[in-house]
């Protein structure tokens, strides 16, 4: 059997786990609020949206760069960045915003073992959250 590529592992294995973790982390009773418009929807109807867009490896899996967003804000409003900025400033402060902007400039190529470690880390974090919240 052919070994999965690192791109496959990142996009098809790690990303779904990380995305669910982000949405569940902010959920209450299976519902989660969009950080930019405030709409509340079931976890499965929400997305994990990035403050710093572009899906660059250096910020792609940064928890402080990724929060629950509805499809309208994340896709159709291209992240609803004015509201996202206000959320980030209030939640983390300008220092974190500046740090994420600097991180975004760093070229980062994940090695297979790094992706595999992140898969394991976020599987464990997700399992712990699911147990706490009674999810499956």
Residue keyed to tokens 């109807």: 45
Instruction: Indicate whether 71 belongs to any domain.
Output: yes
CA 67 to chain centre: 6
Instruction: Indicate whether 94 belongs to any domain.
Output: yes
DSSP lists the bridge partners of residue 69 as 47
* Domain, as residue range, for 66: 6-114
Global confidence as pTM: 0.94
Q: Which of 22, 110, 17 is nearest to 65 (CA)?
A: 22
100-120 mean pLDDT: 96
Instruction: Indicate whether 133 belongs to any domain.
Output: no
Instruction: Indicate whether 123 belongs to any domain.
Output: no
Residue 136 has pLDDT above 80, yes or no: no
Instruction: Indicate whether 1 belongs to any domain.
Output: no
| Domain total of the chain | 1
Instruction: Indicate whether 119 belongs to any domain.
Output: no
Q: What is the mean pLDDT of the chain?
A: 95
pLDDT at 79: 97
Instruction: Indicate whether 35 belongs to any domain.
Output: yes
Instruction: Indicate whether 132 belongs to any domain.
Output: no
């Amino acid at each position: 059997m052919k070994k999965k590529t690192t791109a496959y592992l990142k996009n098809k294995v790690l990303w779904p786990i990380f995305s669910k973790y982000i949405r569940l982390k902010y959920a209450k009773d299976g519902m989660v609020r969009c950080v930019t418009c405030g709409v509340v929807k079931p976890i499965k109807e929400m997305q994990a949206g990035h403050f710093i867009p572009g899906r660059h490896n250096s910020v792609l899996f940064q928890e402080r760069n990724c929060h629950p967003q509805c499809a309208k804000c994340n896709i159709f409003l291209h992240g609803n960045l004015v509201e996202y900025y206000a959320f980030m400033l209030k939640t983390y402060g300008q220092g974190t915003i500046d740090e994420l902007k600097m991180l975004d400039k760093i070229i980062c190529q994940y090695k297979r073992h790094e992706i595999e470690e992140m898969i394991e880390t976020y599987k464990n974090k997700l399992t712990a959250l699911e147990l706490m919240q009674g999810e499956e």
